[in-house]
Amino acid sequence: MNNQPIGILDSGVGGLSIWKEIVKELPYESTIYLADSINCPYGDRTEAEIYILAKRLVKFIIQNKAKLIVIACNTITVACIDKLREEFKGIPIVGTVPPIKTAARYSNNKKIGILSTLTTSQSIYQKRLIDTFAKNCEVVNISASEVVPFVERGEVEGKEVKELTEMLLREFLAKDVDAIALGCSHFPFLREEIEKIVGSKVKILDSGNAIARQARRVLTNNNSLSLSKNTLHEFYTTGNAEEFVKVSKKLVGDKFRRLIKEVQAVSL
């Protein structure tokens, strides 16, 4: 059990922002990353549709003998994590949600922004997080599903993505939010663009490190942490493998690039 990998899944390349944090936090662990690139974006789909897609991803990860599943996708988590846990009882599942609690804590003027996909922004799950952790804050909830395809193509800078992001973030500036919760795993790759728009005084928060620490806690509690550093990182996509290699190597930066040796195309 201890030497089995951690399975990480997302609709596309976005979950690599969480994969990086997992590799940093748990350097002895092997990973299997699965991207449903052919069906990406998930962010405007109904919760019922997302559940059907996500089940296939979880089955693939289980077939590949992972000891833990990390859903590196806020949209899947808010849409159906409870149902997935119910259906796949034999494996622990850790989800990813917008870091609303942290944003509320960091905000001095108690005005926070949440940037997520349409499905996440409209979900009961997110509403509950706001009611629980940001009751004392004014919350500006923005859906930015439109930028996901840009990140999928590796376009995280340049005129087009800049103009779109500027347009989407206008309300954050107008309402003077001083902390932003990134509620989609694709968005940390746009951090620099977002920072340029909102300024360095606004705190931009993502959930990557918290998820990695949660993964560590679960593995510790189950006595299934890897005991030796004999790591293997495997990558699978339901889309075009060459495109995935190109984009992912561009997004993850120098330190992690060398870990992406090969990407295999799968049909689920």
Residues that bind ligand DGL (CB under 6 A): 10-12, 14, 40-43, 73-75, 117, 120, 145, 148, 184-186
What token pair was written down for 190? Answer: 């746009």
Q: How far is the CB of 24 from ligand DGL (least distance, A)?
A: 19
Which entry of 40, 80, 137, 184 is annotated as an active-site residue?
184
Q: For ligand DGL, give the closer residue by CB, 3 or 154.
A: 154
Non-local CB neighbours of 127 within 8 Å, separated by 6+ positions: none
CA pair distance 68, 45, nearest whole angstrom: 26
The residue number whose beta carbon is nearest to ligand DGL equals 43
Non-local CB neighbours of 211 within 8 Å, separated by 6+ positions: 18, 21, 22, 70, 72, 94, 96
Contact call for residues 39 and 11 (beta carbons, < 8 A): yes
Q: How far is the CB of 25 from ligand DGL (least distance, A)?
A: 19
Contact call for residues 151 and 214 (beta carbons, < 8 A): no
Q: For ligand DGL, give the closer residue by CB, 184 or 212.
A: 184
Count of Cβ atoms closer than 10 Å to residue 243 Cβ:
17
Q: How far is the CB of 230 from ligand DGL (least distance, A)?
A: 30
Which entry of 40, 73, 80, 137 is annotated as an active-site residue?
73
3 state DSSP class of 264? strand
Q: For ligand DGL, give the closer residue by CB, 30 or 117.
A: 117
Q: For ligand DGL, give the closer residue by CB, 5 or 43.
A: 43
Q: How far is the CB of 181 from ligand DGL (least distance, A)?
A: 12
Find the helix or strand (DSSP H, E) in which 116 lies: strand 111-116
Pseudo-torsion of CA 161, 49, 238, 115, nearest 10°?
30
Q: For ligand DGL, give the closer residue by CB, 94 or 226.
A: 94
Q: Which amino acid is at 128?
A: R
Count of Cβ atoms closer than 10 Å to residue 174 Cβ:
9
CA pair distance 14, 242, nearest whole angstrom: 17
Q: How far is the CB of 107 from ligand DGL (least distance, A)?
A: 22
3 state DSSP class of 55? helix
Is 73 designated active site? yes
Positions marked catalytic: 73, 184
